[in-house]
Structures are given as C-alpha cells and as structure tokens.
Chains A and B, each alone.
Chain A
Amino acid sequence: MRIKTELPEIFEEFDEARRQGFIQVKQLKEKGVPVIGVYCTFMPEELIIAANAVQISLCSTSDETIATAEEDLPRNLCPLIKSSYGFAKTDKCPFFYFSDLVVGETTCDGKKKMYEYMEEFKPLYLMQLPNMKNSKAAFDLWKDEIVRFKEKLEAFLDVTITEKQIREAIHIKNLEREARKNFYGLGKINPTIIKGSEIFKVMYGVNYTFEKDSLIKKLNDTTKLILEQDSESIKPQFEGTPRILITGSPMGGVTEKVIRAVEENGGTIVGFENCTVAKAVERLVDEEKEDVYEALAEKYIDIGCACMSNNVSRFALLEKMIEEYEVDGILDMVLQSCHPYSVESLKVKRFCQEEKKVAYLYLETDYSTTDIEQINTRVAAFIEMLEE
C-alpha cells in the first residue's frame, strides 16, 4: 500500500475514517466489546475506558431526521436535539444502533427533556449535571454522579472497575488531550500554516478512531507533518487575512457551512473554542490527586458550556485563545432555539468588544442549507470590516 504523504490526502483520511467509523464499531461489537453512546463532552470517558468499553459520539448534525423528530418534539426546538432524537427514533445512526447503553447528562433543558422520550426505546442512563461550578454542593453532587455512573457501568456490563484502571485511563486520556491540543494549537502560528477547515476535519474525524494509541499516534504524526511542510509556499494564501476564532453551539455536519463561508469570503479560522474542538480538551485531569473521582469531577465540571451559570470557564478560555491565537474577530455561531448560547451571546459580545477589543459577530443558523446566502452576506461584511 502506498503511504499517504500529501497533506490534503491525509486530511481526507480523517474524513474517510469518520465515514468508515460504523464498520469499525461493527467489528468491535463482533469482538464482544461493549459500546457506550454519548452526545456530550461532559461524559467522563475515563470510566468507560476503565470498563474496557468503547465510547462513541452519536449522530446529531444532519437535518435528515428532523422531520421524524418533529412528530414528537416541538418544531421550534434546537436542531441538534431534534436531529439526535430523530436519528435515534429512525435507527438511521449506526452508532446508536450498536450502542449497548446511551448516556446523557442534564445539560440544557431541551436535551434533558428529550431523553425522557428516548429512554422509551433505548437503554438510557442520565447523569445529573449541576448547572453551577463554584459551589461545594454542586461539586459534591457531580462527584457522586461520577461514582454512581461507575457503579452503573459495573452493574450494566458486569465488570469491576478498579482505581488502577481509572488511573491508567486518566493517563491515556491526558495523552489524547495533549495530542489534540498540539494539533489544533497549530492554529496559533501566525502567519497561518493550516486552514480552519482542515483543523476541524481532523478533530472531528479523529473521534472515529476508537483505539486510543492509534488515535494519539495519528494526531501526533499529522502535527509533525504539518510542522515539517514547506511553510513558505503556504503563507501567501493567508497573508493579511483576518484571524477568526469560532465559539458558540456545537458544530459539525451541516453547520460546517459557516466554516466554508468564512474561508470562501477571505477569512482565516485559527481556532474553535466550541465543544467540538477545544472546550472540553484544554484542561487535563490531575493525575496526582489522591481521589480519582474528585480529579475527574474537577476536570469535567470546568467545561465552559453555556448550560452553566455563571459560565466563567468559557470566558477564561476565550480570553486565553484570543491572546494565544492573535485573534482579530470572534464568530459566535448559535443554533436556532439554543437558549443557553443565544442568551449568553450578549455577555460574549460585551466581553469581546469592551474588554478584549476584538470584533464580534453573532450568527444564528440551523441545519438547513437555505440560509447560506444570508450567512455569506453577514460573514463577508464582517471580514470586510476587519480588513478595512
């Protein structure tokens, strides 16, 4: 077999891995590996690894199944929730089909209420995520929830999860996080050497490599390759283009139209603060901590999702990324009817414009493709504003 060395081909490979993901899951199932399906980054994957099971992200980014979901759910609900539910109900998501257990968390209201219907047709476990971070009561609740989830996994899979296994899982997940950070952190380099769409393709595609060692190796190899390429030949296409950081609701599938709009209209995406890329990866789990559950709780409760009040972690990460990535403008992509992110957008806007003195664009969209021209106009105007 020819070894792929050209970068575009390598990025394609990640896309291909995503497309072929279900075959891998099928093979895992045939080998008797239990599969746990999840929707959200709050899930402590370490416990699943410790249980010798595999965690997979379930389908939630296409409008294909929204019509079916609307038979049960309100029409003016966030498209991500409708899509997730629709995929589950129609069994069109192979990952959902292969999941022995689906685990949700009480993040936003729409999701937690949707799970009440999903559990009618799928084994579902719901973790009670507190909606605040800086309180002992909230922390204790979350820590207990993590312990309860461990117990649930033990009972459901008929295994014993030892502390040693959890520690090993924490270590490997930290290595994975480091590899991810090193890769998407390439966006910090100014002038740019990698497109935002490529960062995204890799970060999204790599989720479908289920074996952690090969996932880490793949990422590290790709990072190395990009650093070794002839950057002089790449620089000119990015010279003088505004550097944009994406924040907001989860992204992927149809909503990659926003990434295309930025790049086609002359902008450079240098990073993604959202939960698809950086939000849940930046902070590692403390490997020195005596209590592993406390270590896990500390990490996961610190994810800056807008379902948290006050969502201080998001602003801390935004601040860090604005500086490290030398950002000119923030694009806040919010899914229609995603109340946590749409309400929080005013705070983000104030933070960007008043405190950080960077430009801010609020962009609301859904899973249709009918608003592409409207997105183009807003994004192009934003880039023109930054270029002037």
Chain B
Amino acid sequence: MRVIGLDSGSTTTKGVLFEDGNLTSKKLVLTLGDPKKAAEKVFTELGRQENTYVVSTGYGRRLLAADKVVTEITCHAKGATFLNKNIQYIIDIGGQDSKVIRVDHLNKVADFKMNDKCAAGTGRFVEVLMQTLDEDLMRIDEFISKAKPIKINSMCTVFAESEVISLIGEGAKKEDIALGVLHSIASRISNQLRQINPTEGSIFFSGGLSHIKTLTELISMNIKMPVYYDQEFSQYAGAIGAARIGLQNSE
C-alpha cells in the first residue's frame, strides 16, 4: 500500500511517501508560484503510481489531483502528534499564514486560531525584512548570535519594512534589527497561542521558520513551555499528517 501526503504551501511544496505504513521517502521543492508544477515534481520524485493513494493539503490543495483533500489544520495536528506523541500544542508559521492548534488527549484538533488575513505574523514578514537587510534567512542564527534586539513596532509587513529602512538610515546594526524582527514575530505568535488557552504541556513547532533556533528559544521563553522541533521532519508535519489520514482512509 503506497500513500502520498502532499502539502502544497505558498513557498514550498512538501511530499512524503508511506509504504506499508512506514515513512520511506520525503521531498521538498520550492513552489515558485506554480503549485501544480511543484506538486508534479514531488510526485515524480516520490514515485506516484496508479494505485498510490494521495491526500493533499496546504493552500494549493484543491488544484491537485488527489483522492482526498484535507485542510492544513487537521493535517498538522495528525502529523505533529505522529512525530511527537507528547505534544498538546502546535505552532506553524508558514509563508502565507500562521496557525496555532490545540490537540486533545486523542490527538484530535480541539481548537485552532489562524492569523488575520494579512502577512503580519507569517513567514513572509521575516522573509521580506531579511531581504530588506540583504541577509540570508537560512543563516539567520549565525548572523544574530551576538546581536542586541531593537524593537520593531509595526506589525504590518509593509510598515515594518519602512521602519527597518529608517533604522538602517539611523545607523542601527543590521544584526540588531534582524533579532528585533525575530522578537516581534515570536511575541506575535505567542499571543496567538494564548488565544487558545494553553495551560501546560509542550509545543510542536513546524513550518519553514521552525529551523531558526533563536526563534524556537524566544517562543519557549515567551510561553514558558518547552518547544519541540524536529530537525529532519518539522517542515513535513502537514504532509505526514495528510499521509496518515490517507492511511486511515485507504484501509
């Protein structure tokens, strides 16, 4: 039995293949504005065959030929609890949106909250500001290792961009601004999490920004809960969840 879970995100497209109940391969490609093409690439790489059961999720989920379509909320809950059975909350910061999810003792979604409909609090916020600073998002931990954060007041991505440009104009250090950007998004996502009444337990951090170690630490400090991040699979949580749903459905 072959099942593919495909997470069609705005920035990256992720896919995982389960064979006979085991995760056997994974693939991540850049979406580059063409979710169909990106999905085809992932399917080819994972070896989609005629009898492969496919579940799609993510913002491009409906554009693809899939056996089942499930939202990223349900998939993230299924995927994150598969990767770590002991978590009660999930934070996902994606390119286009951010979400917080509370799961119950049966690993089902009990409550969730998504960001408002603008780019504030999403991966795009950090991406745009790092571009303004002309720094590589992938190496941000290194870049800010000795920085002192400067407060970024604007929540809006566009306003924050002009705020950052003014700060550069005033001669502020770029790494201090970058750390300020991380503080801003950490506080925003922590507030979002507080809206679903976190009591105790631990948090699973997924999505493209979860590789930023500093951000994981900042969120953990804000919320006062351990934040779990899977170096290898965090970004695949949605795809894994989709595949797990596929496994249940195709049985």
Interface residues of A (CB under 8 A from B): 353, 359, 362, 364, 371, 373-374, 377-378, 380-381, 384-385, 388
Tell me which residues from 70 to 108 in chain B have a Cβ below 8 Å from any Cβ of chain A. Answer: 70-74, 97, 108
User: Which B residues are within 8 Å of any A CB, using their own CB?
Assistant: 59, 70-74, 97, 108-114, 116-117
A388 to B111, CA, bound (A): 12
Contact between chains at A385 and B72 (CB < 8 Å): no
Chain A hits for B109, CB < 8 A: 381, 384-385, 388
CA distance A179 to B111 in the complex (A): 37
Chain A proximity of B174: nearest CB distance (Å): 32
Task: Please list 6 pairs of residues, one from A and one from B, whose beta carbons are closer than 8 Å in the complex, sorted by A's number.
Answer: A371-B117, A377-B114, A381-B109, A384-B109, A385-B73, A385-B108
Q: How far is the CA of A40 from the CA of B113 in the complex (A)?
A: 31
Cβ distance B164 to chain A, nearest Cβ, rounded Å: 23
Residue pair B108, A378 in contact (C-beta under 8 Å): no
Q: In terms of DSSP, what is the predominant structure of the interface of chain B?
A: mixed
Of all chain B residues, the one with the shortest Cβ separation from A373 is B59
Q: Is the CB of B111 within 8 A of A353?
A: yes
- How far apart sit A377 and B59, CA to CA, in the bound complex (Å)? 8
Which residue of the partner chain B has the closest CB to A363?
Answer: B114
Residues of B within 8 A of A374 (CB): 97, 114, 117
From B71, B111, B113, contact of A384 by CB (8 A)? B71
Tell me the smallest distance from the CB of B117 to a CB of chain A, in Å. Answer: 5
Closest B residue to A265 by beta carbon equals B71
A15 to B161 CA separation, bound complex (whole angstroms): 47
CB pair B117–A380 under 8 Å, yes or no, is no
| CA–CA, A377 and B72, complex, Å | 8
Given contacts A373-B59, A374-B97, A388-B109, is CB(A381)–CB(B74) below 8 Å?
A: yes
> Are A384 and B70 in contact, CB atoms less than 8 angstroms apart?
yes
Determine which residue in A353, A362, A377 has the highest number of CB atoms from chain B within 10 A of its CB, and name it. A377
Q: How far is the CA of A362 from the CA of B97 in the complex (A)?
A: 16
Residue of B nearest to A365 (CB): B117
A362 and B195 alpha carbons, distance in the complex (Å): 11
Give every chain B residue within 8 A of A388 (Cβ-Cβ): 74, 108-109
Q: Chain A contacts of B71 at CB under 8 A?
A: 377, 380-381, 384
Could you tell me if A378 and B74 are in contact, using CB atoms closer than 8 angstroms?
A: no
Separation in Å of the A350 CB from the closest CB of chain B? 9
In the complex, which residues of chain A have a beta carbon less than 8 angstroms from the beta carbon of B111?
353, 359
Residues of A within 8 A of B112 (CB): 381, 385
Bound Cα distance from A318 to B111, whole angstroms: 20
Minimum CB–CB distance from A336 to chain B (whole Å) comes to 9
Question: How far is B195's CA from A353's CA once the two chains are assembled, in angstroms?
Answer: 12
How far is B118's CA from A371's CA once the two chains are assembled, in angstroms? 10
Q: Of B59, B73, B110, B117, which contacts A381 at CB under 8 A?
A: B73
Residues of B within 8 A of A359 (CB): 111
User: 13 more A-B contacts (CB under 8 A) besides A377-B73, A380-B71, A384-B74?
Assistant: A364-B116, A364-B117, A377-B72, A377-B97, A377-B114, A378-B114, A381-B72, A381-B109, A384-B73, A384-B109, A385-B74, A385-B109, A388-B108
What are the 9 A-B residue pairs with the smallest beta carbon separation, nearest first? Answer: A381-B73, A381-B71, A385-B109, A384-B74, A380-B71, A388-B108, A371-B117, A374-B117, A377-B71
- Closest chain A residue, CB of each to CB of B76: A381
CB distance from B69 to the nearest CB of A (A): 9
Smallest Cβ-Cβ distance to B110: which chain A residue: A385
Q: How far is the CB of B68 from chain A (nearest CB, A)?
A: 11
Which residues of the partner chain B approach A377 to less than 8 Å between Cβ atoms? 59, 71-73, 97, 114
Shortest C-beta distance, A365 to chain B (Å), equals: 8
Q: Which residue of B lies closest to A346 (CB)?
A: B195
- Distance in angstroms between the alpha carbons of A371 and B112 in the assembled complex: 18
Q: Report how far A373 CA is from B110 CA in the complex, Å.
A: 22
Measured CA separation A359–B113 after assembly (Å): 12
In the assembled complex, the Cα of A378 lies from the Cα of B117 at a distance in Å of 11
Min distance, Cβ A385 to any Cβ of chain B, angstroms: 4
CB distance from B91 to the nearest CB of A (A): 15
Q: Residue of A at shortest CB range from B74?
A: A384
B67 to chain A, nearest CB (A): 16
Chain A positions within 8 Å of B97 at CB level: 374, 377
Residues of chain B within 8 A of A384, CB atoms compared: 70-71, 73-74, 109
What's the nearest-Cβ distance from chain A to residue B157, in Å? 16
B contact residues around A385 at 8 Å (CB): 73-74, 108-110, 112
Q: Which residue of the partner chain B has the closest CB to A388? A: B108
A346 CB, min distance to chain B CBs, angstroms: 9
Q: In the docked arrangement, what's the CA distance between A353 and B117, Å?
A: 24
